Structure 1
């Protein structure tokens, strides 16, 4: 089968470890290359339809960070080995590596949203045999990645079965807490900068939705407001608060909730 991409590089099995694979593709949506770190479970039977669970990283990070700083693949492996969740591919793409963070939507003539929603899934299906006929995709993320997951899941509801956010940015203006790029750099092509506006766009056909935030997180009040707005709109969702701040120990602890949630609705 012909590739959808001009160039594709996939890591070689003899040099891989911990079930992690690395994929780099060239795509017009990024006007260059994009990276995807993948956890592909070792399943005894031959399968070609494993679900794809996308985890989006936050500012400053890249494709490696959910695995190499968050241990997401180890959390997934533990849940699969104990039959808590069924086998699934964990896809951890870069955000396109613009500035301190692209925010996962289109600007500067680059379609960071289409990179995630279309290219990542297509590249996995074309290059990972266990996902060749996958029909279930879920999307989650932390901080800016939570903003991306909530926004993209709401904008493209037909693409995803479930959405999960940890410590999510809920309005574009909150990016200013983390990035040095001026906010007007993001706004040249985005008419829906707030998560609630994306959700209102397709409120009657949203994927299953959950999000959480640490009570010591600087984003706790914006997350509480989003929860309140969703309740006012009678939009079904799960919102939870836990001890912790905007930090890796919190995300490492709670990523299992995302994986279990995805498993329930894949």
Structure 2
């Protein structure tokens, strides 16, 4: 939902009405979690959202509508989920579009960790901060997102049911801030820039691999997009890569570029 632009239904109707693409069945799944957003992977800390998409949503939709091929697309965490789902499950998805998705974790996450550490100490730990956060009447106060995002990403990339801290391992010591390389290594295995090499055969099976990002992305995601692009080129994996002059925010107009391409890829 873009309050300054079209909602997704109106956008799809316009693209179809103007002949940019044909009709598609487009489920819009709400996977938001208490720890903020979703990376669309299985986690003991957040739930089995990978399974949910493939084993519940897909069968539910296909029991009601005729489907020949499936594509997946999204922006930000949704972009991340799209490329990771495509890599993990080429038998489920035939095309993917990744708009400004999380990648090159060293650039997009680590800058938030000192802020998160300070907030955790102030509130008695991550769980105390999260309880405080959800009690606030205005949760859009500047400065809160990096802390919530740190909890959310740790919940997805380094869950640990035996951890006394929300069932999560953090890549830094919660008291001293000392780096925990063994935990960070678990995060890096989920970084798309590192996954490309392992899942190149899956990406080659896609009828469309579409990636774009704004050159002024405030979360530094342009660098991750560029690295993915380069690694796809090195492996001669066919893809579409575009950069545009904008930030991370209010960029759903980019769906005007990706959705017609996805329609043609799935239709062809």
TM-score bracket for this pair, using the shorter chain length: 0.5 to 0.7
Residues 97 and 256 from structure 1, CA distance in 2 versus in 1: closer, same or farther, beyond 3 angstroms? same
Instruction: For structure 1, list consecutive stretches of 5 or more residues without a partner in the other structure.
Output: 1-64
Residue 123 of structure 1 corresponds to 60
Which structure 2 residues correspond to residues 197-216 of structure 1 after superposition, within 5 A? 197-206=194-203, 207=206, 208-216=208-216
TM-score (norm 2): 0.65
Residue 156 of structure 1 corresponds to 89
Choose 239-248 or 225-234, whichever is displaced more. Answer: 225-234
Residue 74 of structure 1 corresponds to 10
Match of 1:108 among 21, 28, 44: 44
Residues 169 and 69 from structure 1, CA distance in 2 versus in 1: closer, same or farther, beyond 3 angstroms? farther
Structure 1 or 2: more helix by fraction = 2
CA apart distance, 1:236: 1.4
Which structure 2 residues correspond to residues 2-151 of structure 1 after superposition, within 5 A? 65=1, 71-108=7-44, 110-126=47-63, 129=64, 131=65, 133-151=66-84
Equivalent residues, number: 196
**Separation in 1, partners of 2:152, 2:17:** 45
CA apart distance, 1:79: 1.3
CA apart distance, 1:116: 1.8
Which protein, 1 or 2, shows the higher relative CO under an 8 Å CA cutoff with sep ≥ 6? Answer: 2
The structure number with the bigger radius of gyration is: 2
Structure 1 or 2: more strand by fraction = 1
Residues 196 and 222 from structure 1, CA distance in 2 versus in 1: closer, same or farther, beyond 3 angstroms? closer
Residues 125 and 102 from structure 1, CA distance in 2 versus in 1: closer, same or farther, beyond 3 angstroms? same
Residues 8-52 of structure 1: CA deviation (Å, up to 9, x unaligned)? xxxxxxxxxxxxxxxxxxxxxxxxxxxxxxxxxxxxxxxxxxxxx
CA apart distance, 1:89: 1.5
Residue 264 of structure 1 corresponds to 264
Choose 235-244 or 115-124, whichever is displaced more. Answer: 115-124
8 Å CA contact 1:66, 1:92 repeated in 2? no
TM-score (norm 1): 0.66
8 Å CA contact 2:95, 2:265 repeated in 1? yes
CA apart distance, 1:163: 0.6
8 Å CA contact 1:95, 1:101 repeated in 2? yes
1:165 aligns with 2:98: yes
CA apart distance, 1:142: 0.4
